[in-house]
A and B are shown apart, each in its own frame.
Chain A
Amino acid sequence: MKIQISNGRVINPASGLDEIQDVFIAAGKIVGLGQGPAGFAPNRVIDARNKIVMPGLVDLAARLREPGFEYLATLESEMFAATVGGITSLACPPDTDPPLDEPGLVEMLKHRAKGRNQTNVHPLGALTQQLQGTRLTEMGELRDAGCVAFSQANTPLMDTQVLGRALDYASTFGFTVWLQPQDGYLARGGVAHDGEVASRLGLPAIPTCAETIAISTILHLVRHTRARVHLCRLSSAAGLDLVRAAKAEGLPVTCDISINHLHLSEHDIGFFNPHCRLVPPLRSLRDRDALRAGLADGTVDALVSDHSPVDAESKQVPFEAAEPGATGVELLLPLALQWARQDNIPLVRALSRITADPSRILGVPAGQIAPGSTADLCIFNPDQEWVVTPQALKSQGKNTPFLNLPLLGRASHTVVGGFLIYEDARA
């Protein structure tokens, strides 16, 4: 399959490229920018006039709900949704049922995902067996089965001795450990930020120090073990300050935030909107603004969808009882663009946070448009308006705080490994 994408505005954040030129694809690779190889005869020409051609998005957190939660979503539905969102590589957390703690499970997932010839799926292995925080998993075997890193997902690892040893063991092999920093004791029973809104609505609260204490603990262990750690889903200004200082100190840490925490605060809970029941909780406006600034200045390395499809029944219950999480793979691109517009962030930099930067954390060769690189691309019209409705969302999960909001930008074409796997006929 030879594809020529013509007249698009090509943005490659990794190199700073931002120019109108053609992209030439053959045998799964990019074989030319601006000018194709001599005698290039495309099977398909995509007219990208007035569109942006960018590397396919790399999402560090997308739950596909397989195995175990097929009633919420299936690999098929969620991988298609990711494709519609322009995502060409994604990492899925190990909090499936059973958790991804055995090589066989990971091989099966990789096999099922591969059979679909779609978005590249990179599983995160469980750091501890059953995510129970007591015994280590076979990390070497899991890596050989296809895991790119190891994680506890949302389950806090309360035992600091086990955490320290897990970091030590992982770093023996050079594996990165992904941790969501939230102190399990301080967060116990809580469903909202310990602030004005939780006090008003009478919701059990989680203080900011649940995050800062967990980050401090992890950073001390990083100093001790020199393990490489990726901190997932920061929620607070104070937590971000700790990461900023750790980076200045030279510790091998990176971090990400979700699209929800980039745009929302505790006030969006309104009168118990269950779509705002998230882990970690939405915090104050001050926190949100600090996270936005942190993403702009690079303290926050990546923006993620934190895609968590939940069925309607699990949300139509009182706020405290609602299953946490929001659908997100189709919103990552438009919400990154919205942030860039609102905060005057150069597009190259904004798009870097959903391509080259997460790809570096993932440690896979993706998120680039350069001669010789794998042809994973997303083409979109930045001026195309669409409304987030249940019908518009392809994910089985229709749960999002952004429901009914008009957004700009949606993929018209998604290319993975040189194959045009998604095309929106209307765009």
Chain B
Amino acid sequence: MNGNPQLSPEGRLQHLLTIEGLPPSILFHILDTAANFEHVAQQEIKKVPHLQGKSVFNLFFEASTRTRTTFEIAAKRLSADVINLNVNASSQSKGETLLDTVDNLSAMQADMFVVRHAESGAAHLIANHVAPGIHVINAGDGRHAHPTQALLDMYTIRHFKHRFENLRVAIVGDVLHSRVARSQIHALTTLRVPEVRVIGPKTLIPRDVEQLGVRVYHDMVQGLKDVDVVIMLRLQNERMNGALLPTRDEYFKYYGLTPAKLARAKPDAIVMHPGPMNRGVEIASEVADGVQSVILKQVTFGIAVRMAVMSILAGERGGNFS
């Protein structure tokens, strides 16, 4: 019940639940496969047959627009049948348990579940429960992991910086509550980025996060010095309630990305954000829309990366197609 079920005994990817524990070879395989898929969007008919006849269930227990949509587009471009379920609104409110919901959908011959849930570990729970042959993709579980987001971020970094072994990357903001940050940290360290920094006030940095292989900065001006990549995290409004922060204004003053702070990074540094952005809270509009921002490219790459993950899970054919 507590194992890591995403790899088969032969080391093949069965589910994508977390970046943690995946070897670099699998990450590179996903990135390379995504590169093959990137051109599909440029074709007149934006479809390939990899998932023809397969049913992909988008099982979202927590609201999402961007992630759900990009998964839907990715699955449709692979010719899968896509069923979107916003579970908050239906069965959960009638008292059905999470695993009952999954069992019912499995009985409808689901081949793949894309799961988002507000609680850490939900995707592991489902992956440990489903029958063999059904694949689970974690689209975000609580504060734990958001592996496809991290992969598309790695894809973006590789697109602009070409390699990982010489980079300095800073992740800025609410690391404590961020599943994106956790997955990014695992991905960056797995891909041998020599220096990963996390920057934020002490209330938003998890205890002992250094154990994950990062360096902690509380001063953003120092933390951004000479970095190649700046990743900004979204700040949820409710953080003001639990006495974690005083106000949005003060947060922006010390941890918002402004042109002046960005000038501390390398001149060719790129700026990333997993979205949705809070302009004027964690990022100034001049930066979000500026020449160093690659935020919209991230969204585009997200589709190819999710196509790659789905096709690899469905049968390892993704790499061979041309």
Contact = CB atoms under 8 A, between A and B. Distances in A.
A250 interface: no
A299 to B, nearest CB: 26
A199 B208 contact: yes
A270 to B, nearest CB: 4
Given A199-B206, A199-B211, A271 B99 contact: no
B135 interface: no
A269 to B, nearest CB: 7
A202 B179 contact: yes
Nearest to B117: A318
B131 interface: no
A202 B145 contact: yes
Given A271-B2, A273-B1, A274-B1, A313 B97 contact: yes
Contact of A316 (B2, B125, B207): B125
A398 B313 CA distance: 34
Given A272-B125, A317-B97, A202 B120 contact: yes
A383 to B, nearest CB: 30
B1 A200 contact: no
A196 B208 contact: yes
A271 B119 contact: no
B76 interface: no
A319 B141 CA distance: 11
A417 B101 CA distance: 51
Interface string B286-298: 0000000000000
Nearest to B178: A202
B113 to A, nearest CB: 15
A302 B263 CA distance: 61
Interface residues on B, range: 20 to 34
Given A201-B121, A205-B207, A318-B121, A273 B2 contact: yes
Contacts of B129: 316
B182 A272 contact: no
A164 interface: no
B4 to A, nearest CB: 5
B144 interface: yes
Nearest to A403: B1
Interface in A261-286: 269-276
B77 interface: no
Interface string B182-214: 100000000000000000000000111101100
B124 A202 contact: no
A199 B2 contact: no
A202 B143 contact: yes
Nearest to B146: A202
A289 interface: no
B122 interface: yes
A203 interface: yes
Contacts of A319: 119-121
A42 interface: no
Contacts of B206: 198-199, 205
B98 A202 contact: no
Contacts of A320: 119-121, 142
A272 B122 CA distance: 9
Contacts of A317: 97-99, 119, 125
Nearest to A319: B121
Contacts of A387: none
B9 interface: no
Interface string B70-105: 000000000000000000000000000111000000
Interface string A197-240: 01111111101000000000000000000000000000000000
B182 A202 contact: yes
B195 to A, nearest CB: 19
B120 A271 contact: no
Interface in A299-337: 313, 316-321
28 contacts: A194-B207, A195-B208, A196-B211, A199-B207, A199-B209, A201-B120, A201-B144, A202-B120, A202-B141, A202-B144, A203-B142, A203-B143, A203-B144, A205-B207, A271-B124, A272-B2, A272-B120, A272-B125, A273-B2, A274-B1, A275-B1, A316-B129, A317-B99, A318-B98, A318-B117, A318-B122, A318-B125, A318-B141
Interface of B: 1-4, 20, 97-99, 117, 119-122, 124-125, 129, 141-145, 179, 182, 206-209, 211-212
Q: Which 8 A-B pairs have the closest CB atoms?
A: A202-B143, A273-B2, A272-B121, A318-B119, A202-B144, A199-B206, A270-B2, A319-B121
Given A202-B145, A271-B3, A272-B124, 13 more contacts: A200-B182, A202-B141, A202-B142, A202-B143, A203-B121, A203-B142, A271-B121, A272-B121, A272-B125, A316-B99, A318-B120, A319-B119, A320-B142
